Amino acid sequence: MSDNENLRAPLSSGSGQQAVLEEKLEYACSRLEKAQPFNKVRFQHPVLDLGRRLMNQENGIPVLYAMAPRMDKAGLFTGTDWSNPGTLLPGLVTQTFEHGDRDTVMLECVSELRLLAIAGGVYSSPGISAEHARHFLTQVLALNLEYLFGTRTETVRERLGPLGEKVEELFQFILTHIGFENILENLIEEIWRILAQRPVQVQNVKTMVTRIAVMLSRGDIEIGEYRLGADRLTSALFSPTQGCYNDPGIAAYQDRLDAMDFAALQQEAGGFARSMHDTGLVSDYHAVFLRMLMAREQFQLIPDALGLSSTGLDVLRCYQDLVHALIREAIYPQTAQAVYGLAMLLERGILHIPAIAPALWRQIGLNLSVLTESTLIQIFGEAVSPKIKLLAGVISLLGQPLGIAQGNNPTCQAARALSLWSYNAPDYLLYFIHQVSKYDSLLMHFEGRPILSTDVPAGLLQSAPIDADPVSALLVPHLDRIYNEMSRLCIGRGEDPHRWINPEFHGWWTGRDFVIVVDVATGNLKAADTFITRFYNSYHPFYNGNQPVIHPQPVGVAVTDSNANFVGWHAITLIRVALDQKNVMRVYFYNPNNDSGQNWGNGAVVSTQGHGERFGEASLPFPEFVSRLYIFHDDPLDNSDPAEIPEAEMQRVKEMMQHSWASDRMGDAG
């Protein structure tokens, strides 16, 4: 067997797989070490390939960390930009993960581990001190906080695939060694930016806040102006009220509640509500408090504890028994975050939709299938029963339709559909949840043809997502299968399949006219002037007779990275168009990615707060949004004469297209 064949030999299965990989990597390093400098490039790829495979093992990153000095000495970085660690720039690390191929990304990963070894004093390299290496890694962590929060962009998800999850683990590993105190200010700022989007999933944020609380409790860290923001975050989780001051623990807090009079309880209720609505985080003590109110039948304090406005209070009074049942059945310390979802559900007023109350009563009494229970236990554990976990997830999604995210899964169509149904037709969503959780299947129709999810092959997602909310964990695999089958049925039609899929998949409110700026056969831009004019006439209030968006619409965008390079097509929801506080016309939309605040390059920086966004919305000025748009739906019944778009505006949009995703797609761009 030749040397190359030896490196490509099948790996043994089971517990010995990692040991085999380590042995192979050591062998590859030996070959690399013996190679002449001019010939090292030939032997670097096997080292990187084996390093990547080792990194994918459960305990691969610590092992790779231990081997990083060996790989460096062997010459892994010889002839590359990483050859001299003292000249590396932390600001370029993000660019590498966004734009690099697999070998380049792996070089970056090993380089970070090499620097970590230098910072820890277990390895030395000419031209860089331990202090310099530590400072470098601190800056890298601060500049790449999305990897600590699990909020990778579409760019990174598309380029790295499964390796992206291991990059996140790598950053967590580095953080464990470097320490939070070095990046606290950036971390606090990033947490507030994420919370401003009011995500349903906040476990990563809670973990970070917990670590911040531990660091600050030592009393030897000074974070200046960020101290107030940090205190608000930590108090929101551990001591939002006077009664749970100093984080006494649930048992001790219950004893304190027993000793409180009505005035003190009223003060507790208001404190919980203010903290929850200020941060979007819910303390476990809040759930304890609500359950105490139910047990004592002190129902008059529930509106105060939820922080309800007159709208929410009216809904609560009309559906008091149902709300009380939801609290009893779904609100526990382990599901405390659903308290915010319940408050927002009431504020939305959707219980006044005739079908919602009986559908929720059905959900409360639902007996889950064996498969549903095992799936939820596998993903979320057994801290509470699967039925409680699912009901809490339903409450959160109904209250926060723009807070759901696809996690790190390529299922933006399914995540968008769940959000749209919660926003537009929550009774339809509850029907689907009932189908899947009771019968383990989902039935939809495509052009009159029934599609049963269990009768069609898997789509992009092979199993239930483990980084999603309970509703997504159950429904997304079924929705993904059905979407994939609809796509298959459109093969051979010669046009973009979303023309037919979107109205059937998302709902009747989807515009039946379909407009696309890309020629499906060639991928080139086509009739851009007509496309831009049509969108302005359909959605811009100055050109459509000041007609607002009635039903949010599914649209497709060409996602670009921070250098405006094309990454891929992405499904989002157009929610509304309005002037911001500076009289800039903006498009407000929902992005099913974990974090909507992204830099799409060439001036298209997506905002999530500060420009009139409501919780969960992202926005761009109208021209910047159109420059990344490639498909949208419209009303085919409107035959009015199109308004003329100013030539300067038209050219601006076309130039932004040409200098981003359409740079090599010009074709018939007129």
Under a CB-based contact definition with an 8 Å cutoff, are residues 98 and 159 in contact?
yes
Token digits of residue 650: 């038209």
- In DSSP notation, 608-626 reads SSSSSPPTT-EEEEHHHHH
Mean pLDDT, rounded, for 351-362: 97
Does residue 477 register a pLDDT over 90?
Answer: yes
Mean pLDDT of the chain, nearest integer: 90
The whole-angstrom separation of Cα 305 and Cα 583 is 37
The whole-angstrom separation of Cα 23 and Cα 3 is 14
pLDDT value at position 639? 62
Does residue 461 register a pLDDT over 80?
Answer: no
- In DSSP notation, 144-181 reads TTHHHHT---HHHHHHHTTHHHHHHHHHHHHHHHH-GG
pLDDT value at position 135? 83
Mean pLDDT, rounded, for 183-190: 82
Does residue 7 register a pLDDT over 60?
Answer: no
pLDDT band at 588 (very low <50, low <70, confident <90, very high): very high
Does residue 5 register a pLDDT over 50?
Answer: no
What does each C-alpha distance from 107 to 37, 152, 557, 657 come to in angstroms? 18, 19, 32, 33
pLDDT in tens, 484-528: 999 999 999 989 999 999 999 999 999 999 999 999 988 899 999
pLDDT in tens, 447-460: 999 999 999 988 77
pTM score, two decimals? Answer: 0.84
- In DSSP notation, 260-293 reads --HHHHHHHHHHHHHHHHHHS---HHHHHHHHHH
Place of tokens 């064996």: 370
pLDDT in tens, 37-47: 878 888 999 99
Q: In 3-state terms, what secondary structure has residue 662?
A: coil
pLDDT value at position 670? 59
